[in-house]
Amino acid sequence: MLSFLSAQKIDSAKLDQYFDVLEQNHKVMGSFAIAKDGKVIYNKTIGFSDVESRQKADAQTIYRIGSITKTFTSVMMMQAVEENKLKLSQKLSDFYPQIQNASQISIREMLQHRSGIHNYTSDSVYFEYNTKPMSEEEMLKIITEAGSDFSPGTKFEYSNSNYYLLGLILENIYKKPYAQLLQEKICKPLDLKFTTVGGKIDPAKNIANSYTYFGGEYQKSSETDMSVPGGAGNIVSTPEDLIRFMQALADGKLVSTESLEQMKGFQDDYGFGLVPVPFNGKTGFGHNGGIDYFQSVLYYFPEGKVTFAMITNQSNYNNNQISIAALSAAYGLDFQVPSFGVVEVNTEDLEPFVGIYSNASFPLKIKIFIEDNKLYAQATGQSSFPLEATSPTEFKFDLAGITLKFNSEKGEMFYTQMGQALTFKKEN
């Protein structure tokens, strides 16, 4: 689906081709939008919102946005500060004294992920309960028992626990549910029609499921219950709603210019629900998100007031490359339409590559193995991922930008990722 709401110049034909190639090769499904000066100049939707019923996505399809929720939570926290209901220097012990080091942890440190509170989503036990409805008491017990990873204020470490707790603090000081606060303080003033706290996914309401694509089939993700992420990741939206939200934030319609500057006070590349975003000599700000198989991006650049938003419900591709292409188009720069020359390799030809590979300067070993006649890679302690052959000896994993080239005679594997190049030796 394609529409223009402005006469701004953009190479829409090439962008269409770019997204069409991704769709045709089952690399991505989702919705994308670019705006200049607050006006959407390009949008594109590809793939299905619900594969099982073959329901195509459109510009009104609603997706889970994951951690972009943190930007909304941060905005509401700053609104509370402006209303003198809260201070950034205030301690967590004023609300939840049972959390380890609560008397030393400030609201500011929680907003900047410098609290030391352990990240509950990083534990393997998380996947034993994330699809179940969880009460506030149950979640607080999990976070409390997980304890602290470091002394407050001493370093940055991303933790969803911080923003889950910040969501509860908002409810505490306003005596209203987070979902109601979101509507009253952001969505209704900005007329965000498709943005709300998510619930059970319902394709009949044009709410997308998420998928991965493997072996010629779409595989649907399990569904996180939205009581689990809370203020760290429970919002659903559309790219155009996200653009409207970000433009309003930049224009001072949600918080003051001074508050926004505090949100952009980056330390270890993180502010209050915002990160700095470099592109072609320019610096913007925004946030990424991920939940189940959904991935999301929301970036704003003051130069030209350019905003890019995307939400994918299936991606076997490096979404950073999509952002680069979209921003290049927005600024009139050239970008390349990808080609996917995947070749078939017989199982017996894959056998010489199987083994454990290591490099003295790389902390993890990489296991190469065959499953269902396909080659896989798995780094120590990480999830395995499928490799696509681009030649009889070269393979790639687009989602992480990884390429592997094998020399079976020398027992070597040449690894490249994001400019890093290493040679691994086969151990067995």
Q: Express each pLDDT in 361-378 by its tens digit.
A: 888 899 999 998 889 999
Q: Which domains does the chain have, with CATH numbers?
A: 1-338 (3.40.710.10), 347-426 (2.40.128.50)
- Mean pLDDT for all residues in the chain: 94
pLDDT tens for residues 206-252? 999 999 987 788 999 999 999 999 999 999 999 999 999 999 999 99
State which amino acid sits at residue 271.
G
State which amino acid sits at residue 184.
E
Minimal CA–CA distance to 338: which of 360, 358, 316?
316
User: DSSP secondary-structure letter at 267?
Assistant: B
Minimal CA–CA distance to 178: which of 235, 111, 94?
235
The rounded percent of the chain whose pLDDT value lies above 70 is: 97
Length, in residues, of the chain: 428
For residue 267, what are the contacts with CB-CB under 8 A and spacing of at least 6? 112, 114, 156
CA-based R_g, the chain, Å? 22
Which pLDDT score is estimated for 341? 66
pLDDT confidence tier of residue 342, bands split at 50, 70 and 90: low
Assigned token pair, 183: 């509507």
Number of Cβ within 10 Å of residue 42's Cβ equals 24
Rounded to whole angstroms, the Cα distance separating 237 from 169 reads 23
Number of Cβ within 10 Å of residue 254's Cβ equals 21
- Asked whether the beta carbons of 306 and 327 are under 8 A apart, the reply is yes
Q: Is the pLDDT of residue 2 over 90?
A: no
pLDDT tens for residues 394-426? 998 877 778 899 999 999 999 988 667 899 999
Q: Is the pLDDT of residue 4 over 70?
A: no
Rounded to whole angstroms, the Cα distance separating 250 from 81 reads 18
What distance lies between CA 403 and its chain's CA centroid?
Answer: 22
